[in-house]
Amino acid sequence: MKSIKIISVRIALLGFISIMLSNCERNLSGDVEFAKFPSNPEVFIDGFSGGLEYFPFGGSKPDAFSVDTDIRYSGTAAMRFDVPNVGDPAGAFAGAIFPDNGGRDLSGYDALTFWAKATQAATINEIGFGNDFGENKFMVTLNNMQISTAWTKYTIPIPDASQLVAERGMFWYAEGPENGNGYSFWIDDLKFERLGTVAQPRPAIFFGEDEVIETFVGTTINMTGLTQTFNLASGLNQTVSVSPAYFTFKSSDVDVARVNENGVISIVGRGTAEITAVLAGVRAQGSLTIQSLGAFVAAPTPTRNAANVISVFSDAYTNIPVDFYNGFFAPFQTTLGGADLTIGGDHIIRYTELNFVATEFKNPTINVSQMTHFHVDIQIPESIDPGDFISIELGDFGANAAFGGGDDSSGRVTFTNTALTRNTWISLDIPLAQFGLTSRNNLAQIFFISDATISTLLVDNMYFYK
């Protein structure tokens, strides 16, 4: 059937070209229908449907998937997935995509459904459709799916089926060990359906929150928190993460900010713009108000000899390996962000909702015993009030080069509001002696602390020097 359809398309195209070249006045009939992709809804019913393929993710256990003829919900076979234990040499997790690279027209359906059970109660990290190892343009993900030892039917709604006229990604999943231990789960009767009971769509961007951000011309911002929620026949409100291509984005002022179909916002001018979105004709909850401060002035470029520098974060030097620029120490930490801002090729750390945050480099730690100073450039893009402060704290892991053990030391230096200025780079050169560390042989942490007196902080050029 596939070859017949390809031939018919070629014949139709050759005929159309012949008509144009002969300048014939006849038009194509309005009744002519061009060939469409097949609308086969089946993914796995006792076996692969026609055209379906299997590709495991890199790092996944290659043989995590198999066909099981002993345990199934109905029929003669089910899909079996074996999640490895932590440390399994065959792979760290189980994950794969199941594409039909010929493409299918799924516009007549409103959900992917299946029956599933497991050897134990577990939470599957990610499961869905639309992942094809390509653009993943219309990918949908059900996060943290709860599964039990009893066969249960699951429904993953399609956010806007009219978009899926040539979809290749039929199914995908990714799951790791539960508390370090592997387990098995089964999926059966995996197919797309038109249930007619997927109702009350509630799309959202930025997880439904109205966000406000100050930024600069030349900045790009990726849209986050893109979800769609439907009410199912069971009464469950099912929320899935969806790709930007399902949405139509709008900027209230394209001379300030523009957003493309991939949800990437580009700041092009000074002023204020609000980014909103619509999915299948429904206004999405949430928005982003951008306050562009105009052209960005980069932090001063360091000029110190690289031979006298140990760099943690700077475009001017080769940086040491860093484990993270934000440890997200819940529940005490509120700070968001990290090394996620690039303006004109300049990489900058941006923290928001700052109370405290750590940059950590323990693999390996660094020896700064021969260094004399710590340098950092900071900028505070908000008003400075009495009582505001920024503290910088260094942490050394002691002789055992590991956190704890009774030999760690730390110390901080605080800058009050009188030493801080809004919207300008402040270059700090702090003698390491001021931190009062008992050892500087295994330095592993740099903290910025504001106790929420200052919410937003830009950071660049963190390094030690002599």
Determine the topology of domain 42-193 in CATH. Answer: Jelly Rolls (2.60.120)
pLDDT digits (tens, 9 = 90+) for 175-232: 999 999 999 999 999 999 999 999 999 999 999 999 988 888 988 888 999 999 999 9
**pLDDT score of 24 more than 80:** no
Lowest-confidence segment of 22-26, 119-123, 235-239, 342-346 by average pLDDT: 22-26
Q: Average pLDDT over the chain, rounded to whole?
A: 91
Element spanning 21, H or E = helix 2-21
**pLDDT score of 5 more than 70:** no
pLDDT digits (tens, 9 = 90+) for 89-104: 999 999 999 999 999 9
pTM listed for this prediction: 0.73
* CA–CA separation, 219 and 78 (whole Å): 49
Q: Do domains 42-193 and 306-465 have the same CATH topology?
A: yes
Q: Can you say whether the dihedral through the CA atoms of 399, 404, 409, 411 is positive or negative?
A: positive
Extents of the domains making up the chain = 42-193, 199-295, 306-465
How many CA atoms within 13 Å lie on the side-chain side of 163?
19
* CA–CA separation, 211 and 275 (whole Å): 10
Domain 199-295 has CATH 2.60.40.1080: yes
What's the distance, CA 426 to chain centroid?
32
Instruction: Collect all residues with Cβ–Cβ distance below 8 Å to 209 and sequence separation of at least 6.
Output: 225, 286
What's the distance, CA 202 to chain centroid?
21
Give domain 306-465's CATH superfamily.
Galactose-binding lectin (2.60.120.430)
* CA–CA separation, 347 and 448 (whole Å): 18
Nearest CA to 369 among 315, 312, 437? 437
* CA–CA separation, 48 and 417 (whole Å): 66
**pLDDT score of 251 more than 60:** yes
345 Rama sector, left if φ>0, alpha if ψ -120 to 50, beta otherwise: left
Q: In the block, which residue shows the tokens 């089964």? A: 186
What's the distance, CA 378 to chain centroid?
27
- Output phi, psi for 244, to 5 deg: -60, -25
Element spanning 447, H or E = strand 443-449
Side chain identity at 224, as an amino acid letter? T
Residue with more model confidence, 457 or 13: 457
Name the token pair of 231. 């009410």
- Let me know: does 192 contact 261? Beta carbons within 8 Å: no
Name the token pair of 92. 């760290």
Query: Which pLDDT does position 35 carry in this prediction?
Result: 52
pLDDT digits (tens, 9 = 90+) for 56-100: 999 999 999 999 999 999 999 999 999 999 999 999 999 999 999
Nearest CA to 393 among 407, 378, 410? 410
Nearest CA to 456 among 151, 211, 250? 211
* CA–CA separation, 164 and 141 (whole Å): 15
C-alpha separations of 247 from 166, 244, 256, 318, 453 in Å: 18, 6, 20, 40, 37
